[in-house]
């Protein structure tokens, strides 16, 4: 029994070696290639779909008027022709400002009424570009002209001092 397993394995290995030797040494018959025949098309080509006609641009107007993913996204303002822009100051009132380390926002309201709008630095309102936001005022610019809009005090309340700096050695009260 001890010789049966190695003897069987040796016989199997000799058979496999003989098969490999025959595969490598056996002559290979030549393969004849059939002559190529011209392809004959009997069927008519399939009909092609009509040319693509995109939908009218009016259907996409809503894309440029509303924010898709970024609430700070605004429509692109069309540049106005030189000489057509009025230098009349805008009819705006400053409702408030929020000044942060990375961004500043001004809340402006048209004197004619309506809701307040938030305006970031660089945004345009009625053809005037917001160029500076400070506590209590904003500066709008157009065609080489600057216009300052100051925040008004509520009726009966004194106007707080803007950019008040405490004297040296005195600390500012909390909230200022």
**pLDDT score, position 28:** 83
Is 34 a domain residue? no
Which CATH number covers residue 137? 2.30.30.830
Is 145 a domain residue? yes
Range of the domain at 148: 91-155
pLDDT of residue 127 exceeding 70 = yes
Is 119 a domain residue? yes
Is 176 a domain residue? no
pTM over 0.75: no
d(Cα 101, Cα 74) in Å, to the nearest integer?
22
**pLDDT score, position 158:** 55
Is 101 a domain residue? yes
Confidence grade of residue 80 (pLDDT, cut at 50, 70, 90)? low
In 3D space, the residue among 73, 160, 66 whose CA is nearest the CA of residue 123 turns out to be 73
Is 19 a domain residue? no
pLDDT digits (tens, 9 = 90+) for 1-44: 577 888 899 999 999 999 999 999 988 888 888 777 766 666 67
pLDDT digits (tens, 9 = 90+) for 45-68: 777 778 888 888 888 777 766 666
**pLDDT score, position 57:** 83
Is 143 a domain residue? yes
d(Cα 165, Cα 46) in Å, to the nearest integer?
83
Number of folded domains in the chain? 1
Is 132 a domain residue? yes
Joined tokens for residue 13:
């290995």
């Amino acid at each position: 029994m001890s010789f049966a397993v190695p003897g069987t394995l040796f016989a199997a290995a000799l058979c496999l070696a003989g098969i490999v030797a025959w595969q490598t040494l056996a002559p290979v018959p030549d393969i004849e290639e059939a002559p190529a025949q011209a392809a004959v098309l009997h069927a008519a080509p399939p009909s092609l779909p009509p040319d693509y006609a995109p939908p009218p641009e009016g259907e996409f107007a809503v894309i440029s008027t509303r924010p898709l993913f970024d609430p700070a996204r605004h429509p692109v303002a069309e540049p106005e022709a030189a000489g057509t822009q009025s230098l009349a100051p805008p009819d705006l009132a400053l409702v408030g400002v929020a000044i942060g380390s990375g961004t500043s926002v001004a809340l402006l309201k048209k004197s004619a009424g309506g809701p307040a709008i938030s305006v970031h630095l660089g945004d345009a309102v009625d053809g005037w570009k917001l160029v500076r936001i400070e506590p209590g005022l904003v500066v709008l610019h157009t065609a080489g002209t600057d216009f300052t809009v100051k925040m008004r005090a509520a009726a009966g309340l004194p106007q707080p001092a803007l950019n008040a700096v405490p004297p040296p050695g005195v600390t500012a009260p909390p909230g200022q």
